[in-house]
Structure 1
Amino acid sequence: MSTTNPDFNGSAVDSGHSNSVDVAPGVHIRHGSPGQPPHGYDSYPPNMDPLDRETDALLASQSEERISKPDQYTKPPMRPLLLIPVALSFSLARGMDFAPHVDVYTRIACNTLGKMGLFLGNFIPLPANCALDPEVQAVASKLQTTMVTTLGLLNTLTAGWWGLYSDKHGRSQAMSVAIFGILFTDLMFLFATDYSLLLIGHITEGLSGGWPALQAALMAHISDTTPEGSRAKIFSLFTGIVCAGIALGPSLSSIILRGLPFVSGDITVIFYISITCALINLFYVRVILPESHSVEARNAIAALHREEKARRREERRERDSHARVAKNSRVARMVRRAQEKVVRFLAPVTVFMPRTRKRPGRLRPQKDWNLTFLAMAYLCYQLALGVYPVKYMYVEHVFAWSAADLGYYISFASTIRAVFLLVVLPWLVRVLKPPHVIPTPALSSTGNIVAENQEIPTQAPTQMSPPPSNLVSDIHFDLALARISVLLELLSFLATTMTTTAPGFVFATSLVALGGGLIPAAQSLSLSLLGSKEDSGRLFGGIAVIQAVGMGTVGPMIFGITYSTTVATSPKAIFVLAAAMLSISLALLCLIRPHSDFGSDGLGYDSVGVDNEAMPLMD
């Protein structure tokens, strides 16, 4: 009997037998062990070649397997759903902590100024005359701004680094560190008597990556456990869960503080609940949740890291050997190395840099700017989201809303967004998303089952991957969803600038929920444009950095300065500025042009070259 030896491309090389199998051009067959007669036959014909028997049995069995499993590319596994308890519990705890955090800031300010003449602990209700004192409110506002800015700056520097860490050591490790940082901050709020404990807590959470790093690890875990293609539906589900938790958290906190007689306003109960949730999640992530990033992928990234580190060390030695011996040479080297360390913290952002791409039929490689344009569009969108804290000050100033009115509005708007992301958007994706093309076997002129331009393996693939044509259609669908979402949110802000009544403002701002599809669409699109799942941790680390810079630090600062300078003459200027940022985001999305040959190698690029110096790795 003849034998076959697969070459490095996976095609079969016949060793000593010329077969007469009727197959279509371009087929590569890997022969397996002899099987049973083809479907519909009791035995093989006596004059049938043994190799033909093997081939017919193999093709028939695999065609039946394909037919019995339709649409195998569109059915995600259940493993991403294991993350729902983590996402829901943390978003609920985050929403529940909003009011108690403000309460602690006010207590510390009141104690610092000595307004009450005695120390106010967290276990008694806050006196009304202390909370209404303008001087106390000014100090509390400065304290809150200091803590939020500190946390935002540290998240900007470390969230991406922890994304790289998850590529090298696993998603569960990165999640555990982020959970510990959030847990430590809640402990500091629980025992805070002055601002120093709060500062220590926020610094610890910032160094651990905090909420942005946790979200990045969750999204990377989802990308590891879902097939390639459009992930807008699953990302929409988790984004909606987070919005639902944040929407329900404040109401649940109010019910606990006001509705339970044994609590009677003791805010420490809320912190105990948050700490308990964090401890349970830490146990769940470390013990129960399976690691999604394979050991092989982590080892490969670790080896790449060691090579990159050795290369940098050699370059550093070479620079130092050519440097002039001077009094300040040692200081200059220390400054240069410190700069390299800081830049390395921002290394995940370099994943969005233009990539060298070789296209069929063209001699010169081209720069692919698609991922760069997407990152810039996402940054503009996140900057526009910085209007939300200032928007709440706007409604209190223009419509004279009380704190209770504002709380109802926040819960109402968050609930609408959560319903859209959890129910409406997944339904729209299911209805409007183009169906995947599933390869089916064909029949030759002799009646044998043949494959058309497909390599037929003897074993089932270890990971579900859609054909290149499906990847292309998924990319176009995600891109269209992102553009429409930004357009709808832009129209909402334009409508807000034209409203003069409170009901009109509520209606106009409620339309923002229709633009909630951008975040899941952008996350799914960025994964498809990246092409390699091994870099998903770096990618979501870069996205976390963009979120920390846009919505967490720079965005609120820009809108805060704008509002403080225009509130007397044109308070709606903040909405005009947000609309301008969304217009730039939409224009950048329109510059993205997926290539027709995208995904020809199954990864998204035919050949990608990236400058190693442009993508430094962590130490």
Structure 2
Amino acid sequence: MPADSSTIEGSVEFSGDSDENDIEQEAPRHWWKRPAPWWLLVLTFISTVIQSATGMPRFELYRELVCQVHQTEETFASLYLPSDYLLYSPLGPHWFNVITNDARENTEKAHFKASAFGCDSGRQFVEAATLAAVLETTVVVLSFMTVGWWGSFSDRYGRTRVIAIASIGQLLAAVNIIFVAKYVQRIPGGYWFLVIDSVISGALGGTSSELVAVMAYMADVSTPEKRSLLFSFLFGIRLASIGVGPILGRGIINITHNLLWVFYLAAVSRIFQACFVLFVLPESLRPAQMDRASRRRQEERWLTDRPTPWWYRHLFFLLHPFSVLWPHKISDENRANGTKRDWTIFILVMAYGLMLMATSSERVYLFYIWFTLRWDLQDLLYYTSSIAPIRAAYLILVFPLVIKFFAVRQNRQNDAPSTSPSEAEPLLSGSSRPSVSDAKTHNLSKNLTLMRFSMLVNIAAFAILPFAPTGLVFILFAMLGSFGAGLAPAVHSVALELYTLRIGTNAPLETGKLLGALSAVWSIFPYFLGPLLYWHIYAATFGTFPGAFLFVALGNGILAFALLTFVRFRTENTSNEDVRDLVNPRTP
């Protein structure tokens, strides 16, 4: 559906470009030439489906490449693989042209002989798992270092350009996988040549930079009132497509009997996506907005780089976007020096990070219910395959109704006469003069309420999971935790609005820079800190109290909720010039 006029007007209002001399007047355009969020929703679904479709085939390909490196082509083709497995080789059945009936009848003998070449099932799996771990770790580390920079890059050069660059990076990865699969015994390093994929993908921000650009695009073309709803659709579509992708990948393999056809499809889809984004998708930022962001970046570099040595500037320039999360100075008439630190965004980051750390304990769930509740592998498969669709259905169908309910409730409270202080009263400010409209204030209060509601749902799930007597009750309690999935869209909306209030409506908003820094920091908690903590607790208490990690997760959730109570927003009437001077001080 086309973007309505209110959406476009909202993007102009909150983009921070109210200077009439900077923004050019544009003639009305057709709906397909207007930036609208539905473009990205469809594109995200296709991109995530293709990405998830290559997950299991990728590891299977690693396992076969390990065998090919440790054996000659004839030994691997005719002596090792059973006849019913040859159809699923990466190069198809035509590659194994030396198969004979005698070799097929001697599979067990061939397996024993192949073990001498290091291709027995145990060593093969360990080597493939090591390769996968190295590649994934390289992507995660490099993405953490670069996603903030790519988010800032999208502010200065456009969202569509970053999405296209991320698509090209995924295209190069798919092409390199196909190349390695066909010439693994001829290229230097063998299957370790795939590290180039991880380096390229990580340097381009991986899938994180694409998601950050998509979210920034949606923030540009939507009003704050619609932002949490759009983010809910975005995260729900991503979860739904993650469930659809493996089904598509398995169907392609069953039809073609060739693992590489999944990567052929991935390469073609990435080419189509890059061309679509570059030549069809309308850019959400105007040239004047990108120019103002570039000038702001140059001013910051001039102010921060001048007193520092050259090696410091070149070594830590990737970490510059994280400065947006650090407490900034704001004006305060009650202080002697007239300024103080605004900790709201920093507290928000820590609160959501602790909750992400708590939800990362779900990775230990499988071992807990396997050994404690005595589930078999089929029960575990049912459990893992049901969580993502439930969360997707909640974000797409139920959470929008929750948003509407809290919006109506907030409007009723605001319309009712009251002499008590508002919930939106600033925590760290001493003035009550309003500087933002009532609509913005009410919307921010609504999103904070949505965050608290989602956190309470997660906390309730952590509190009752250790007392589940049977596997069925455990599944029901775990599904209850899925209804806290609305925390992600709510917290991103709150972060953007707090950042808008800090900078001021007339200052150039660097939405991509903020989202990139948030994405990088928040990835630390569920992927590094959480697993490190919960696996250590589970291993230490396995014989005495295996459910101890659930109580630790409950404590983290309560601490996150407690921190969230300190998140307030300013209602001072601070001028935009004062805000600019505080955020980006000028030298005399």
Q: TM-score range by the shorter chain?
A: 0.7 to 0.9
Contact 2:144 2:520 in 1 (8 A): yes
Q: Does 1:373 align with 2:347?
A: yes
Tell me the residue number matched to 1:383: 357
Tell me the residue number matched to 2:462: 493
Q: Does 1:102 align with 2:51?
A: no
Q: 1:308 to 1:565 in 2, by over 3 A?
A: same
Residue number among 211, 228, 232 corresponding to 1:215 in the alignment: 211
Tell me the residue number matched to 1:273: 265
CA distance in 2, matches of 1:601, 1:471: 16
Tell me the residue number matched to 1:305: 297
Q: Does 1:293 align with 2:267?
A: no
> 1:421-453 CA distances to partner (integer Å, 9 max, x unpaired)?
00100112123214898xxxxxxxxxxxxxxxx
CA distance in 1, matches of 2:120, 2:203: 34
> 1:333-384 CA distances to partner (integer Å, 9 max, x unpaired)?
6xxx444434321222221111222257777333221111001112223333
Aligned-residue sequence identity (percent) comes to 24
Alignment of 1:41-56 (within 5 A): none
CA distance in 2, matches of 1:612, 1:165: 19
CA distance in 2, matches of 1:250, 1:601: 52
Contact 1:468 1:601 in 2 (8 A): no
Q: Does 1:545 align with 2:520?
A: yes
**Aligned pair count?**
484
Secondary structure of the corresponding residue to residue 176 of structure 1: helix
Alignment of 1:447-486 (within 5 A): 468-486=437-455
Tell me the residue number matched to 1:6: none
Structure with bigger helix share is 2
Q: Does 1:118 align with 2:92?
A: no
Q: Does 1:237 align with 2:237?
A: no
Contact 1:216 1:543 in 2 (8 A): no
CA distance in 2, matches of 1:557, 1:137: 24
Tell me the residue number matched to 2:317: 344
Residue 394 of structure 1: how far off its partner (Å):
4.2
Secondary structure of the corresponding residue to residue 367 of structure 1: strand
> 1:105-127 CA distances to partner (integer Å, 9 max, x unpaired)?
332444456599516852459x9
Residue 156 of structure 1: how far off its partner (Å):
0.8
Tell me the residue number matched to 1:59: none
TM-score, scaled relative to structure 2:
0.74
Q: Does 1:79 align with 2:48?
A: no
Tell me the residue number matched to 1:321: none
Dislocated runs of 4+, deviation >6 Å: 127-132, 360-363
Q: 1:179 to 1:471 in 2, by over 3 A?
A: same
Q: 1:583 to 1:104 in 2, by over 3 A?
A: farther
Tell me the residue number matched to 1:427: 401
Alignment of 1:5-154 (within 5 A): 79-111=36-68, 117-118=75-76, 121-123=89-91, 133-154=121-142
Letter of the structure 2 residue corresponding to residue 368 of structure 1: D
CA distance in 2, matches of 1:256, 1:97: 11
Residue number among 547, 554, 569 corresponding to 1:572 in the alignment: 547
Residue 559 of structure 1: how far off its partner (Å):
3.7
Contact 1:151 1:205 in 2 (8 A): yes
CA distance in 1, matches of 2:328, 2:200: 35
CA distance in 1, matches of 2:291, 2:329: 26
CA distance in 2, matches of 1:574, 1:124: 46
CA distance in 1, matches of 2:470, 2:575: 54
CA distance in 2, matches of 1:226, 1:586: 28
Higher gyration radius (CA) = 1
Contact 2:347 2:567 in 1 (8 A): yes
Q: Which stretches in structure 1 are left out of the alignment for 5+ residues?
A: 1-76, 317-332, 438-465, 615-619
Bigger shift: residues 501-510 or 534-543 = 501-510
CA distance in 2, matches of 1:257, 1:511: 35
Secondary structure of the corresponding residue to residue 246 of structure 2: helix
CA distance in 1, matches of 2:35, 2:152: 25
CA distance in 2, matches of 1:388, 1:186: 30
Letter of the structure 2 residue corresponding to residue 369 of structure 1: W
Letter of the structure 1 residue corresponding to residue 329 of structure 2: T
Q: 1:310 to 1:356 in 2, by over 3 A?
A: closer
Q: Which stretches in structure 2 are left out of the alignment for 5+ residues?
A: 1-33, 82-88, 94-106, 185-189, 412-434
Secondary structure of the corresponding residue to residue 159 of structure 1: helix
Q: 1:467 to 1:304 in 2, by over 3 A?
A: closer
Q: 1:602 to 1:172 in 2, by over 3 A?
A: farther
Residue number among 474, 485, 490 corresponding to 1:516 in the alignment: 485
Secondary structure of the corresponding residue to residue 509 of structure 2: helix
Residue 608 of structure 1: how far off its partner (Å):
5.8
Contact 1:492 1:511 in 2 (8 A): yes
Residue 290 of structure 1: how far off its partner (Å):
0.9
Contact 1:183 1:278 in 2 (8 A): yes
> 1:61-116 CA distances to partner (integer Å, 9 max, x unpaired)?
xxxxxxxxxxxxxxxx9711111122101121222122112212332444456599
Letter of the structure 2 residue corresponding to residue 91 of structure 1: T
Q: 1:195 to 1:558 in 2, by over 3 A?
A: farther
Q: 1:578 to 1:499 in 2, by over 3 A?
A: same
Contact 1:370 1:529 in 2 (8 A): yes
Letter of the structure 1 residue corresponding to residue 132 of structure 2: Q
Q: Does 1:248 align with 2:273?
A: no
CA distance in 2, matches of 1:190, 1:473: 53
Contact 1:220 1:540 in 2 (8 A): yes
CA distance in 1, matches of 2:167, 2:550: 35
Residue 233 of structure 1: how far off its partner (Å):
0.9
Residue number among 149, 161, 167 corresponding to 2:155 in the alignment: 167
Contact 1:152 1:549 in 2 (8 A): no
> 1:363-412 CA distances to partner (integer Å, 9 max, x unpaired)?
73332211110011122233334334443444455556566554433331
Contact 2:352 2:560 in 1 (8 A): yes
Bigger shift: residues 574-583 or 160-169 = 574-583
TM-score, scaled relative to structure 1:
0.71
Q: 1:113 to 1:577 in 2, by over 3 A?
A: farther
CA RMSD for the aligned pairs?
Answer: 3.4
CA distance in 1, matches of 2:368, 2:311: 42
CA distance in 2, matches of 1:283, 1:339: 38
Secondary structure of the corresponding residue to residue 329 of structure 2: strand
Q: Does 1:353 align with 2:345?
A: no
Secondary structure of the corresponding residue to residue 591 of structure 1: coil
> 1:446-488 CA distances to partner (integer Å, 9 max, x unpaired)?
xxxxxxxxxxxxxxxxxxxx96111111111111111111121
Alignment of 1:433-448 (within 5 A): 433-434=407-408
Residue 567 of structure 1: how far off its partner (Å):
4.1
Contact 1:153 1:553 in 2 (8 A): no
